[in-house]
Structure 1
Amino acid sequence: MDNIELFERVGLAIAIGAAVGVERHWRERDEPAGARTAGIRTFTMIGMLGGIAGLIERSLAPTSVYPGIVTIGFLIAVTVVMTLFELREAIAEESFSATSVITAILTFGLGVLAVTGDMVLASAAGAALVTLLASREFLHGAIRRLQWVELRSAVILLAMTFVLLPIIPAEPVGPFGGISPRSLVLLVITLASISFAGYIAVRLLGTSRGDVVAGGIGGLVSSTGTTVAFARRSRQGADPTSLAAGAISAGALSLLRTAFLIGTLAVSLLPGLLLPIGVGAVLMLAYAFFLSSRQPSMDDGHSPANPFELPAIARMAALLAAVAFLARAATLYFGDAGLIAASALSALADVDATTVTVAGMLPALDPKLAARAIGVGVLVNMVVKAIYAAIFGSRGFAVHLWMATLLSVSAGLTADWLQDAV
């Protein structure tokens, strides 16, 4: 390692300390001199100290009998000094917090890593540390606002991802080629995580920001469910125009979500489907914002159901498995027409199952047939949501849903035709 790289590494260690120090100093910027334990200068020096410790370790490595002894010694010294001063400050202010001590330890450790290890990892971890420190108010507010049911759902997500998923067999089981249980669970985690992110956004932002925002985020949870819920509210006397804007934005976000799943699970199909789906989503968003601009939204505090509860997970897994078997069986017995019919039937509830199933049948499935099956699923799901709006909603609500659907479908089909013609 030449001197230039050593300077770069020590410079990174100092920069990490300075970045942390800026955040720490800014938080206590109104305190008089001598009233804070550590600010920009102290944390910059802690980062530098970590870099120097790493340099000493590197120079002593060929002859050292106890590798790491220098780093451990410096770390103990930093920890003891920061703990003593933080203790005095806590007693004076009658507060309890170990954040600054842990931050100092992490800053020192990242300084050592910058010199002795991967610089990219050190810089990324430093950025993550500063982001975490700067997000204190947001995180505390989120914890206060969220309920135990949401936190429990997050625990379920972590358990499914890191405990359950590794031990589930990957070999396909069942008829018609079978389904891999591990792949099924992974898809359930992926879809439910997207939905859960939208749900948490609604809980944190609140539906008071408008039905367009709430409906759009609800589209990440379930555009079909959001449309039915908004339709029922419109029949109960709520503003149909505002609710229609929310339901249309839910449909637009559902289209974007479908495009994301295609790009993730079946990227080979994305070039043929991105333009019609994208055009349809843009038109629906434009229509939704046009409606919302005409009058303010009327919020009654409704928010979508938590999508990561155990019953929701079980239903999602059952739907994915059922649609997968149905599509494979229909393809085997009825050929291309069977797959199209299965896609249309599954889209009566949700288009995700169709997208996931068709993507899972690649590359054995013909790409044109796969794209057609997903397209039919998207089309049927859009039309059926307009039908649900007419059944469960008020007349004004249904009219707007049908107009947005017809505009979006027409534009999407036109874009698909032009794309094929070119």
Structure 2
Amino acid sequence: MLATPSVHSLALLLLLSFFLGFAFEDFFEQRKSARPGGVRTFPLLSLGGGVLYWLDPTRLVAFTGGLLVLGIWLSIFYTVHLRERDDQGERNAGLVVLLLNIHAYLLGAVTLALPHWVAVGVTVTAVMLLTSRDWLHRLVRKIDAREITTAAQFLILSGVVLPLLPAEPVTSLTSITPRQAWLALTLISALSYASYLAQRYWHHAARALWMPALGGLYSSTATTVVLARQARSDAFSRRDALAGITLATGVMYLRVLATIAVFNLPLAQQLAPPMIGLAAAAMAIATLQYVLSAAPTGETVAPAQNDNPLELGSAAVFAALFVAISLASTWVKSEFGTQGIYWLAAIVGFADIDPFVLNLAQGGTAGLGAHAVSIAILIATSSNNVLKAAYAIAFGGRRTWPSAVVLVALAIGGIALAGWLALAT
């Protein structure tokens, strides 16, 4: 005996098919183009597909036969459609009309056989793709072809390489597994790439303090260098540069905290008060710098965009640093104890702190408690602030000395918090 479709399923089927039909007719009416399908055709196709599926849900003979009939009819239409020309005289070979008719037919079976969120999701997606055609075409023309290659690289990093890596340690020298190392690389690459895309394609990102905020997600050190150079060469940009350098460091604290939370939530919870406090202090100072500094009297030049951060060479360097720091941390811990890790944290702060922080967050150094890890991370971020202060003076000269002072003050604050944690043990 056939199971009777529920009233909710039938109601949803009609609602989604009418929604699809309305969007279809509205889109093609604006283009003064008559096409098969619409607010009456799509509900009938969906009901027909649903009934044929219901009659034979196991072998799908009736449903497949209906799909073949629909395909023959659409093939005849497409043969005629190919003879048409668009406004530029080009042959119109689009498949959207055919695919939407097939979608309407399949919607009946999808609504009856699968969870309702699937039917809603695929229909809403189809409508969004239909109505955003012009915007998508403009986006394609705007995007550099190299970005497609970069996106493919990221998919390879996250979707191909990551699942193939071993989930067990391959050496007794560190407890970090190859999959953990690559997952850390993927996370940092994702944050960096998102920041890079926003700065490159979101025009608001180049205005005021958007660029430094996004730069803090990518690299607060690189952002400091860019803004210091800008302040030195363009006197009108000094206010934005001073506030931006401080803001990028404030965002850096939040970025580090967020990446730690992905791998070690208890550690992130322990670090949250000092890290959020330092971030809030940096952002408050950045606000004061922006408000109290003299407003620029000329046109502000947007800082140069960062290079694409997702090159495979950069990924390989990060992975190598991650493994090297993991091995070094284990050796230092065994030879010099916890104090040695603190000195190592101060040293790596003058390079790239991400591999060091993620190694500690994932438990890469055996025998190191969460309290000691928190202290080491605060030391590393403070050391990195001293490096950025030196960069601010080196590349910005006297114009950026206030930012250098702020960065040193934040470093002292981080060291003080680390000392307070050490005394609290």
TM-score under structure 1 length normalisation? 0.83
Find the aligned partners of 1:74 and 1:284 in 2 and give their Cα distance.
67
Say if 2:363 is the partner of 1:348: no
Q: 1:104 to 1:175 in 2, by over 3 A?
A: same
- Which residue number corresponds to residue 317 of structure 1? 319
Q: 1:272 to 1:173 in 2, by over 3 A?
A: same
Residue 170 of structure 1 contacts residue 180 of structure 1 at CA under 8 Å; is this kept in 2? Answer: yes
Letter in 2 for 1:302: A
Q: 1:186 to 1:271 in 2, by over 3 A?
A: closer
Residue 203 of structure 1 contacts residue 303 of structure 1 at CA under 8 Å; is this kept in 2? Answer: yes
Pick the aligned partner of 1:66 from 61, 65, 87. 61
Residue 267 of structure 2 contacts residue 370 of structure 2 at CA under 8 Å; is this kept in 1? Answer: yes
Q: How much does 1:146 deviate?
A: 2.6
Q: 1:341 to 1:411 in 2, by over 3 A?
A: closer
Letter in 2 for 1:127: V
Q: How much does 1:138 deviate?
A: 4.2
Q: How many residues align?
A: 414
Partner deviation per Cα, 1:300-357 (whole Å, 9 max, x = no partner): 4610111011222122112212211111211122221122222222222233212210
Say if 2:11 is the partner of 1:11: yes
Find the aligned partners of 2:234 and 2:380 in 1 and give their Cα distance.
32
- Which residue number corresponds to residue 383 of structure 2? 380
Residue 212 of structure 1 contacts residue 292 of structure 1 at CA under 8 Å; is this kept in 2? Answer: no
Find the aligned partners of 2:393 and 2:119 in 1 and give their Cα distance.
56
Q: 1:272 to 1:97 in 2, by over 3 A?
A: same
> SS state of the match for residue 172, structure 1?
coil
Amino-acid identity (%): 24
Q: Which moved more, 1:209-218 or 1:264-273?
A: 209-218
> SS state of the match for residue 345, structure 1?
helix
Find the aligned partners of 2:382 and 2:277 in 1 and give their Cα distance.
13
Pick the aligned partner of 2:371 from 348, 368, 391. 368
Q: C-alpha root-mean-square deviation of aligned residues, in Å?
A: 3.6
Q: Which moved more, 1:90-99 or 1:50-59?
A: 90-99
Pick the aligned partner of 2:215 from 210, 215, 218. 218
Say if 2:107 is the partner of 1:104: no
Residue 16 of structure 1 contacts residue 107 of structure 1 at CA under 8 Å; is this kept in 2? Answer: no
- Which residue number corresponds to residue 276 of structure 1? 274
Q: 1:121 to 1:331 in 2, by over 3 A?
A: farther
- Which residue number corresponds to residue 163 of structure 1? 160
- Which residue number corresponds to residue 49 of structure 1? 45
Residue 54 of structure 1 contacts residue 116 of structure 1 at CA under 8 Å; is this kept in 2? Answer: no
> SS state of the match for residue 61, structure 2?
coil
Find the aligned partners of 1:247 and 1:140 in 2 and give their Cα distance.
37
Find the aligned partners of 2:256 and 2:73 in 1 and give their Cα distance.
51
Residue 21 of structure 2 contacts residue 38 of structure 2 at CA under 8 Å; is this kept in 1? Answer: yes
- Which residue number corresponds to residue 403 of structure 1? 406
Partner deviation per Cα, 1:15-66 (whole Å, 9 max, x = no partner): 333444454444445455xx34267615xx425633542343223336x583
Report 1:134-149 matches (<5 A).
134-149=131-146
> SS state of the match for residue 41, structure 1?
coil
Letter in 2 for 1:376: I
Partner deviation per Cα, 1:191-217 (whole Å, 9 max, x = no partner): 112111111111112477325212222
Residue 212 of structure 1 contacts residue 289 of structure 1 at CA under 8 Å; is this kept in 2? Answer: no
TM-score under structure 2 length normalisation? 0.83
- Which residue number corresponds to residue 341 of structure 2? 339
Find the aligned partners of 1:221 and 1:312 in 2 and give their Cα distance.
13
Give 5+ residue unaligned stretches, structure 1: none
Residue 245 of structure 1 contacts residue 288 of structure 1 at CA under 8 Å; is this kept in 2? Answer: yes
- Which residue number corresponds to residue 203 of structure 1? 200
Residue 231 of structure 2 contacts residue 241 of structure 2 at CA under 8 Å; is this kept in 1? Answer: yes
Say if 2:261 is the partner of 1:263: yes
